Copies of this chain bind each other. A is one copy, B any other.
Amino acid sequence: MEKVQQSINIYPCPTAKPKPGQQSLGFGVHFTDRMFLMDYSAEQGWHDPRIVPYEPLQLDPASMVFHYGQSVFEGLKAYRTDDNKVFLFRPDKNAERMNRSCDRLNIPRIDESLFVEAVQTIVRLEANWIPVGNGASLYIRPFIIATEAALGVRASNRYLFAIILSPAGAYFGEGLKPVRIFVDDHYVRAVRGGTGHAKTPGNYAATLKAQTEAKERQHCSQVLWLDGIERTYIEEVGSMNVFFKINGEVLTPELNGSILEGITRNSVIRLLKQWGIPVTERKIAIDEIVRAAENGGLEESFGTGTAAVISPIGGLFWNGNDIPVNQGNVGSCSQKLYDTLTGIQYGRLQDEWGWTVEC
């Protein structure tokens, strides 16, 4: 890991953009006044960490990111508590995962404590951009792109690490709302030996067409991916990990190298275990879910991820058939997980896990 010696330089930010109203926040469309940048060169390693005004990046058209996609990213949130503190949720886990993504993409690792410090510093500077209100947050997007201007297929000698911030409205306006999911056995997101366990843009590029088709043809908001080899085993849903509660036991696909190791997934598993609910990480065939739905054993299903926290699944569309889940209602387990996780994130519940980090 590269050790960065310098401290973060904070440049003046002369202008302040007007802030969007609470109702028009949306997700990922407004950006704050500043961004964090840091450069990498083969000679200097990671250097010049700085916070500068948010503005266009100037990149040579031959920059490798445009041609060979060498790039990784992360996603986390800052939450404003009732007593006006600002919390991050397990940011060290994002730093660790970014480095695991870097390893797979042949990008030099970053200093994980600098990652957390950079997030804390810029969030503190932009704290007046953190929206108030239930479920609202400041979405934080760290990313690294290959910036060397050269067209050979090889690892870049130059990179840019950036962090941008976007105020985000509540994912669910008024209470959790179950979604309808398309189970895809045509397109494949990732396969063992590929990049599925890394957070790299190419994984998402591969899913756009399937997502568009699922929306247009079956009014499904997300795609559930099956494994690329047998197209039988459940992987994940859109940008969420997925859970099923069957006859009192919670199941989720094991970390097999082709799914992302979600931080919400990890937190959910730990909470369920604490509550004495059995959780098993293993291979889950889609047919097993169909059978459980048919014989009444399928109690609930939900996705987990930073954006929605818990997203209850009300039904699956698979092989031409609708498979209702919990009659389209929010399950009690989904609701309790959502309440507990958001309770910790917004400082309303005691954080006995040490998951929250103040800015």
Which A residues are closer than 8 A to B by beta carbons?
27-29, 31, 35, 54, 56-62, 65-71, 73, 103-106, 139, 141, 143, 145, 149-155, 162, 164, 166, 186-195, 200-209, 211-212, 228-229, 231, 238-239
State the Cβ distance, A68 to closest chain B Cβ, in Å: 4
Contact B205 A151 (CB under 8 A): no
Contact B201 A193 (CB under 8 A): no
Contact B204 A205 (CB under 8 A): no
> How many angstroms from the CA of A212 to the CA of B58 in the assembled complex?
28
Contact A209 B106 (CB under 8 A): yes
Contact B61 A204 (CB under 8 A): no
Copy tally for this chain in the complex stands at 2
Contact A143 B201 (CB under 8 A): no
Contacts of A58 in B (CB 8 A): 56-58
> A37 — nearest CB in chain B belongs to which residue?
B61
> A208 — nearest CB in chain B belongs to which residue?
B106
Contact B202 A61 (CB under 8 A): no
> How many angstroms from the CA of A119 to the CA of B16 in the assembled complex?
43
User: 25 A-B Cβ contacts within 8 A?
Assistant: A29-B149, A31-B60, A31-B149, A35-B61, A56-B58, A57-B59, A61-B164, A62-B141, A66-B143, A66-B201, A67-B143, A67-B204, A69-B201, A69-B202, A69-B205, A70-B205, A153-B204, A154-B212, A191-B229, A194-B194, A195-B206, A201-B201, A201-B202, A201-B205, A202-B206
Q: Contacts A106-B212, A205-B202, A206-B195 hold; do A141 and B67 have CB atoms under 8 A apart? A: yes
> A63 — nearest CB in chain B belongs to which residue?
B57
Of all A-B residue pairs in the complex, the 8 with the closest CB atoms, nearest first, are A202-B202, A28-B151, A69-B201, A188-B193, A69-B205, A68-B204, A56-B58, A191-B191
Contact B69 A204 (CB under 8 A): yes
State the Cβ distance, A162 to closest chain B Cβ, in Å: 6
> A188 — nearest CB in chain B belongs to which residue?
B193
> How many angstroms from the CA of A67 to the CA of B65 in the assembled complex?
11
Contacts of A195 in B (CB 8 A): 202, 205-206
Contact B229 A31 (CB under 8 A): no
Contacts of A66 in B (CB 8 A): 65, 71, 73, 143, 145, 201
* Selected contact of A152 from candidates B28, B61, B203, B205, CB within 8 Å: B28
> How many angstroms from the CA of A164 to the CA of B60 in the assembled complex?
11
Contacts of A192 in B (CB 8 A): 188, 228
* Selected contact of A31 from candidates B31, B62, B103, B105, CB within 8 Å: B62
> How many angstroms from the CA of A313 to the CA of B247 in the assembled complex?
58
Contact B201 A67 (CB under 8 A): yes
8 extra interface residue pairs, beta carbon distance < 8 Å, beyond A65-B65, A194-B194, A200-B202: A56-B60, A67-B201, A69-B201, A106-B212, A153-B211, A154-B212, A194-B228, A228-B229
> A228 — nearest CB in chain B belongs to which residue?
B191
Contact A186 B193 (CB under 8 A): yes
Contacts of A68 in B (CB 8 A): 201, 204-205, 208
* Selected contact of A209 from candidates B104, B190, B205, B231, CB within 8 Å: B104
Contact A205 B71 (CB under 8 A): yes
Contact A62 B28 (CB under 8 A): yes
Contact A153 B70 (CB under 8 A): no
State the Cβ distance, A28 to closest chain B Cβ, in Å: 3
> How many angstroms from the CA of A70 to the CA of B153 in the assembled complex?
18
